[in-house]
Structure 1
Amino acid sequence: MSSDVVLHEESTTTTTATEKRRKASSDVESANHAHPKGGDEWMVIFQLAFQSLGVVYGDLGTSPLYVYPSIFPDGIKDNDDILGSLSLIFYTITLLPLIKYVCFVLRANDNGNGGTFALYSLICRYAKVGLIPSQEVEDRQVSTFQLELPNNRMLRASKVKSLLENSNFAKTFLLFATMLGTSMLIGDGVLTPCISVLSAVGGIKEATSAMTEDRIVWISVVILILLFMVQRFGTDKVGYTFAPIICVWFFFISGIGLYNFIKYDPSVIKALNPMYIVYYFMRNKKQAWISLGGCVLSITGTEALFADLGHFSVKSIQISMCTLIYPAVVLAYVGQSSYLRKNNLAVSEAFYKSIPGPMFWPMFVVAVLASVIASQALISGTFSIIQQSLALGCFPRVKVVHTSAKYHGQVYVPEINYLLMLACVFVTLGFKNTVKIGNAYGIAVVFVMCLTSAYLVLVMIILWKTHILFIFAYILIIGSVELAYLSSVLYKFSEGGYLPLAFALFLMSVMYTWNYVYRKKYYFELDHKISSVKVHRVIAETNSRRLPGMAIFYSELVHGIPPIFEHYIASVPALHSILIFVSIKSLPISKVPVEERFLFRRVKPNNLHVFRCVVRYGYTDVRNEQEPFESLLIERLKNFIKEDHVMGLAQLGDNDEPAQNIGLIGDGEGGGADREIEVLDRATEAGVVHLVGEHDVVAAKGGSIGKRILIDYGYSFLKRNLRQSNKVFDIPHKKMLKVGMIYEL
């Protein structure tokens, strides 16, 4: 840490918060939803469970529309293949969505938030694997930061932690894997609306031959545009609007499934015997392995259970999944299997042909509505993970709108919403049918699941300290199943499977460009920070030209005084009476309590009235508070001054030193603090100026061609088309000054 500052305790009432022992992350319920106690708590949980029906499960619930045609694209060769495929579907749904996600992955939440970045943030909190050296001892005192530490009996966790911390390759690999997983999940959010809507609208061909493929495609495009237009109303309203429709959908598919099971072939219950999977592979060999790519579509949307967790809570998703979703989906596949056992030739339109005649039109209408809703799961999940990656410096600045005052995890990102809409429209117009989209879809689904499993194993080892035999069992059972599915979907890479990878590479290039320059800028400021001697000399030289008022300098730098200060003095050789250097820092946690957000330090001696402040946010915190940032900062600074004075008196009593040696001013207890607060009030009344660095980033001379393209073109293009810092931090335009600097990276 730089020698120009003296560390003090936080000004606010953090003692109580830091003394509280938090539970291990595996036991944390969603911190985003302040549930009341007792019966009211369960009422809120049930409300969230109902809302989750309209947001989380649409994709998983509408998979019966297209699974069997994808498993048997060339028709059914053997009637017993239906039993093998049903057994595959049943055990896939049971192992992955139900056991893996509901029982294990949901427990690995970060204060109620899920997704790839939530898992990454858990690992970053426990092991120092971040690529920016901005960690501070005080960060671990934040009440939402603390994790249960390993005991001496479990050395495995410490060894893995040391391995991660001491390997730059491991740190870089973890960040790259997180970016890739995030990009694939966003790609999943593009493909979900396309395949769901096309599958549902395509059912109208059963009722009329006048409906051509082109008409189906254009109807689907119109529906998709309408879907994205309603996103601005927020998850809360969208969930309540869509939930009743999804309830009807699940009751319909389960009821029709039960009807078909009883009417056609109840013997399909034999598929509970996993030996039918073995027989299926023995008969079909390579073709059975290829058909796994169709089978995996039965669990599309599963990642939304975790990615959308910040919009709801662990208990609400567990309740809705176990009581309604799982039984209804299983019944739907059982019913289709019973129908197909007697009607092999109907496999290409298995869903619609298995509907009893009088139910066709009601089911068609509900199917179209449900397919629209199916798209909601990963759209909401995309908004959540964009917010997380944005806060951790891995995504360019975009507008994040918090759409619910009641549920703080529910967000809407306008720019991303419109980009997703355009991508969906182009994919639908380009592919025109569900076969190739299904090939692409499978790769996105399975890859994200594999990455989640890999991160979960790390969490099991270094955070939960799970028994090694259980970890091996998880890898052997869940891991082998997912790798088998991944190998199958990659086989169809050239038949549409390239799409999510191409989309992910594009997003990764954007994320990597932004994060690379973000890190380089931080290191530039760190290398060019102002020394303590120079700060004191500059302030002494301009002491006779101290202007009335307060100046707030903004910087990413957490340690030391940023170079913007020297550049400003060179241009304007006068200083305000109060100087505050503010660093905005994102911690790898979901939320930082407001009372623990501001960490102040003082540049000695006290009569200079120069302060440093680190403002800490979690990746789901709202930056634009109801109370303006400026007012909150000044209020917390006053608290710090009082706290600092009390600590100074305590130090005086312990060391028996003269008061002037520690910079205290005043007569008696509280006098020095009162006088300094009076100086602060006069400065505030005289006016507050916010100084923001306007950095022009260029590649240093002699840099490689790749580096010049990355910085001079890629980053510059992103920066020109993105939101500025004053909009992100709610800085009043009339109080803002921009200080231009050139960073040669």
Structure 2
Amino acid sequence: MDHTKNQQTALHTMALAALGVVFGDIGTSPLYTMKEVFAVGHHPLLLTQDNVYGILSLITWALLLIVSFKYVAFIMRADNRGEGGIMALLSLASRYAGGEPDQRKRIMMLGIIGACMFYADGMITPAISVLSAVEGLEVAAPQLDSWIVPITLFVLFLLFWAQSKGTAVVGAFFGPIMLTWFAVLGILGVININHHPEILKALSPSYAFMFFYTQPKIAFIALGAVVLAVTGAEALYADMGHFGRKPIRLAWFLFVLPALICNYFGQGALILAEPESIQNPFYHLAPDWALFPLILLATLATVIASQAVITGAFSVSRQALQLGFIPRMHVAHTSEKTEGQVYMPRVNWGLMVAVMGLVLIFGSSGDLAAAYGIAVTGDMVITTLLAAVVFHHLWGWSKLKTACLITLFLVIDLSFFAANILKIPDGGWVPLLIGLIIFTLMRTWKTGRRLLYSILKSESMELIPFIQAIGAHPPARVNGAGVFMTPNPDGVPHALLHNLKHNKVLHETMVILTVRFEDYPYTSREERVAVEVLPYGFYRVTLRYGYMDEPDLPRDLVLTEALGLTMDAMDTSFFVGKESLIASDKPGMAFWRKKIFIGLFRTAETITNQFKLPPNRVVELGSQVKI
């Protein structure tokens, strides 16, 4: 009985923490969605009862079909050992390809594009969310209008500065605030619904169908703004590894969804009663005395909205790093209890610069809304395509069952995506440009690493003949163990050849170590290490990590004792190659991409830091490589 009670308490605690991190993005959409739908100059949508009912019906069923049905009911089941997000889905889908390089390449390309769209969304979300909250000053105190951008920049700086404190700390602090926020959303909505209860008729999908039937062109254009109501679904999926599926589902159905629908319908009732409130319907829901407290609460909520995307960006970046799509960089673990909670300084500060740049360039949430949506909807389309592979090939669904569900998802996703394409001239080009830059960098890094590996492999000697030659003409051996790291377990590491050439000695125990990163989140203790005994004191060791594991070679090499290889930590030296790259006219990659790759290579975190090697026991042996 106590155990069940404790489980329920833990579930509710995690649901509250998830409320503070996962739902910030979608939870602050009421700040700007209705305003943008009817914004003057964006499209000729008249403020009539039929149009308001049609828009509310579209928003309601977008929330139900995209978030509740697609993501919460289905996509969140496609977890990779508990982890979610576009990279986890990519790993699952790529398993189907097996040994088919072309098929695997197509799936990988889709996943990379999806990740790039996620990053673009992660840059726009904090900018538009915080701006829209601070713009409440236009309603409460118009004379403070010139302070909106400076206050927004200050709030954003505080948000990114706080990231190093960790998701658990931030989530625990934000949970009660978001609980208050959603309660206020619901209360403000219900109060205004009471003034016009007939508005609840718009819960019926018939109003959405009628809206499209009577005004197909205008309704299609309006989808570009309606999609603002569902932004945050991708962050919800990406953050699944932080909190788990059940707490997120509980928080969504019990609290978030009802509060959102109540608030949107409250805004609809208000603008029908007071058409002039359309300038900022959210803030006009509240009485004058509550405006400043509401602006403060909204600002805190939008900070949390940004938190959802930033946390998701950390998760996606870590997965991309381990899968070899971005250079090595420092990953700090911010929780002793939850392994998936991480902080990546370079990602954090890079996002901050990009977000602040967007605030300065666009200056208002209305202008930013034109740039918002295309990245989100593009990501949704890619998620659906990858999910189709998972449903059919990994879950064993029939082609008919898969086709029916995926067709439904694609009709919805492509409709929203097509509507957002119309925004490209007005700012929609921004996320596309951001995505293209990130895509180029990720593809360049992946291709460059593959090119460097093939060059080093072609220049290396085969390991077994080398060991046989050592046995025939043995050099001097010294006490202790020498661990030589290499990505190619069948070749002689360059560091070993350099050491033998210059020092003319070998260690008593010679370990050829290869680290592999698998396409699933975590490896068990049993599958972490493999040892192959070779002649003349040589050992071939493979360490395997999942893309969410924390690599720690000294810790994990202790596991070799059970497999017959014992090393004294104080008498073990680690030898790593340190390549100095030179761009050349060799085939394999364009010269300008080689220059970019070399620049990325120089900024990568050192192997010593990545694998937690003791610095006083690491020997780096350099060589020049022309690529």
- Displacement of 1:76 after TM fit? 2.8
Q: Measure, in 1, the Cα distance between the counterparts of 2:220 and 2:67.
A: 21
- Displacement of 1:700 after TM fit? 5.0
- Decide whether the 8 Å contact of 2:475 with 2:506 is kept in 1: no
- Displacement of 1:509 after TM fit? 1.7
Q: 1:85 aligns with which of 55, 79, 96?
A: 55
Q: 1:420 aligns with which of 343, 347, 351?
A: 351
Structure number with greater CO (CA < 8 Å, separation at least 6) is 1
Q: Does 1:100 align with 2:70?
A: yes
- Displacement of 1:189 after TM fit? 1.2
Q: Measure, in 2, the Cα distance between the counterparts of 1:52 and 1:96.
A: 19
1:48 aligns to what?
14
1:690 aligns to what?
574
Q: Measure, in 2, the Cα distance between the counterparts of 1:525 and 1:595.
A: 31
1:389 aligns to what?
320
Shifted more, 200-209 versus 713-722: the winner is: 713-722
Q: 1:630 aligns with which of 554, 557, 560?
A: 554
Distance 1:600 1:529, change over 3 A: farther
Shifted more, 543-552 versus 487-496: the winner is: 543-552
3-state DSSP of counterpart to 2:600: helix
Map Cα deviations across residues 534-581 of structure 1 (whole Å, 9 max, x no partner): 323442255241122211001122444434433432333221111001
1:707 alignment partner AA: A
Shifted more, 352-361 versus 453-462: the winner is: 352-361
Q: Does 1:170 align with 2:103?
A: yes
Distance 1:537 1:292, change over 3 A: same
Percent same amino acid at aligned positions?
31
Map Cα deviations across residues 297-336 of structure 1 (whole Å, 9 max, x no partner): 0011111110011111011111111100011101111111
Q: 1:478 aligns with which of 401, 409, 415?
A: 409
Map Cα deviations across residues 323-374 of structure 1 (whole Å, 9 max, x no partner): 0001110111111111112222321211111223343333222111111111
Q: Measure, in 2, the Cα distance between the counterparts of 1:545 and 1:452.
A: 58
3-state DSSP of counterpart to 1:258: helix
Q: 1:246 aligns with which of 174, 178, 185?
A: 178
- Decide whether the 8 Å contact of 1:530 with 1:566 is kept in 2: no
Q: Measure, in 1, the Cα distance between the counterparts of 2:446 and 2:382.
A: 21
- Decide whether the 8 Å contact of 1:542 with 1:575 is kept in 2: no
Distance 1:534 1:63, change over 3 A: same
1:356 alignment partner AA: P
1:471 alignment partner AA: T
Q: Does 1:621 align with 2:621?
A: no
Q: Measure, in 2, the Cα distance between the counterparts of 1:574 and 1:126.
A: 47
Shifted more, 343-352 versus 567-576: the winner is: 567-576
- Displacement of 1:701 after TM fit? 4.3
Shifted more, 718-727 versus 235-244: the winner is: 718-727
Q: 1:566 aligns with which of 476, 486, 497?
A: 497
3-state DSSP of counterpart to 1:723: coil
3-state DSSP of counterpart to 1:441: coil
Q: Which residues in structure 2 correspond to 1:542-581 (within 5 Å)? A: 543-581=474-512
Q: Measure, in 2, the Cα distance between the counterparts of 1:371 and 1:632.
A: 42
Distance 1:269 1:585, change over 3 A: same
1:188 aligns to what?
121
TM-score normalised by the chain length of structure 2? 0.95
Distance 1:342 1:558, change over 3 A: farther
1:378 aligns to what?
309
Q: Measure, in 2, the Cα distance between the counterparts of 1:292 and 1:101.
A: 19
Q: Which residues in structure 2 correspond to 1:582-601 (within 5 Å)? A: 582-601=513-532
Shifted more, 611-620 versus 342-351: the winner is: 342-351
2:35 aligns to what?
69
Map Cα deviations across residues 158-195 of structure 1 (whole Å, 9 max, x no partner): xxxxxxx43x3332222222111111111111111111
Q: Measure, in 1, the Cα distance between the counterparts of 2:472 and 2:275.
A: 90
Map Cα deviations across residues 36-77 of structure 1 (whole Å, 9 max, x no partner): 964433332222111011101111111011011211112634
Distance 1:408 1:81, change over 3 A: same
1:735 aligns to what?
617
2:274 alignment partner AA: N
3-state DSSP of counterpart to 1:697: strand
- Decide whether the 8 Å contact of 2:585 with 2:591 is kept in 1: no
Q: Measure, in 2, the Cα distance between the counterparts of 1:410 and 1:361.
A: 34
- Decide whether the 8 Å contact of 1:260 with 1:339 is kept in 2: yes
1:688 alignment partner AA: T
Distance 1:229 1:533, change over 3 A: closer
3-state DSSP of counterpart to 2:592: helix
- Decide whether the 8 Å contact of 1:193 with 1:374 is kept in 2: yes
3-state DSSP of counterpart to 2:590: helix
3-state DSSP of counterpart to 1:693: strand
Q: Measure, in 2, the Cα distance between the counterparts of 1:431 and 1:701.
A: 42
- Displacement of 1:610 after TM fit? 0.3
1:437 alignment partner AA: L
- Displacement of 1:275 after TM fit? 2.3
3-state DSSP of counterpart to 1:543: coil
Distance 1:277 1:425, change over 3 A: same
2:162 aligns to what?
230
- Displacement of 1:518 after TM fit? 1.4
3-state DSSP of counterpart to 2:166: helix
What are structure 1's unaligned runs of at least 5 residues?
A: 1-35, 129-164, 643-676
Q: Measure, in 2, the Cα distance between the counterparts of 1:544 and 1:368.
A: 69
1:441 aligns to what?
372
Distance 1:507 1:697, change over 3 A: same
- Displacement of 1:689 after TM fit? 1.6
3-state DSSP of counterpart to 1:381: helix
Q: 1:498 aligns with which of 400, 411, 429?
A: 429
Q: Which residues in structure 2 correspond to 1:109-258 (within 5 Å)? A: 109-128=79-98, 165-166=99-100, 168-212=101-145, 214-258=146-190
Q: Measure, in 2, the Cα distance between the counterparts of 1:317 and 1:533.
A: 53
- Decide whether the 8 Å contact of 1:436 with 1:497 is kept in 2: no
Distance 1:220 1:532, change over 3 A: closer
- Decide whether the 8 Å contact of 2:94 with 2:108 is kept in 1: no
2:337 aligns to what?
406
- Displacement of 1:631 after TM fit? 5.5
Distance 1:346 1:550, change over 3 A: same
- Decide whether the 8 Å contact of 2:489 with 2:512 is kept in 1: no
2:599 aligns to what?
717
- Decide whether the 8 Å contact of 1:579 with 1:611 is kept in 2: yes
How large is the Cα RMSD of the aligned pairs?
A: 1.9
Q: Measure, in 1, the Cα distance between the counterparts of 2:484 and 2:239.
A: 37
Q: Which residues in structure 2 correspond to 1:651-662 (within 5 Å)? A: none
- Displacement of 1:524 after TM fit? 2.9
- Decide whether the 8 Å contact of 2:97 with 2:104 is kept in 1: no
Q: Measure, in 2, the Cα distance between the counterparts of 1:349 and 1:424.
A: 23
Q: Measure, in 2, the Cα distance between the counterparts of 1:612 and 1:323.
A: 54
1:694 alignment partner AA: K
Map Cα deviations across residues 89-134 of structure 1 (whole Å, 9 max, x no partner): 0000000111111100110011111111101111234542xxxxxx
Q: Does 1:610 align with 2:541?
A: no
- Displacement of 1:583 after TM fit? 0.6
Query: Which of structures 1 and 2 has the bigger CA Rg?
Result: 1
Q: Does 1:534 align with 2:465?
A: yes
3-state DSSP of counterpart to 1:398: coil
1:668 aligns to what?
none
Map Cα deviations across residues 597-654 of structure 1 (whole Å, 9 max, x no partner): 1111122x3xx11001111111111124xxxx33641x33321128xxxxxxxxxxxx
- Displacement of 1:532 after TM fit? 4.8
- Decide whether the 8 Å contact of 2:94 with 2:104 is kept in 1: no
3-state DSSP of counterpart to 1:557: coil
1:693 alignment partner AA: G
Q: Does 1:58 align with 2:24?
A: yes
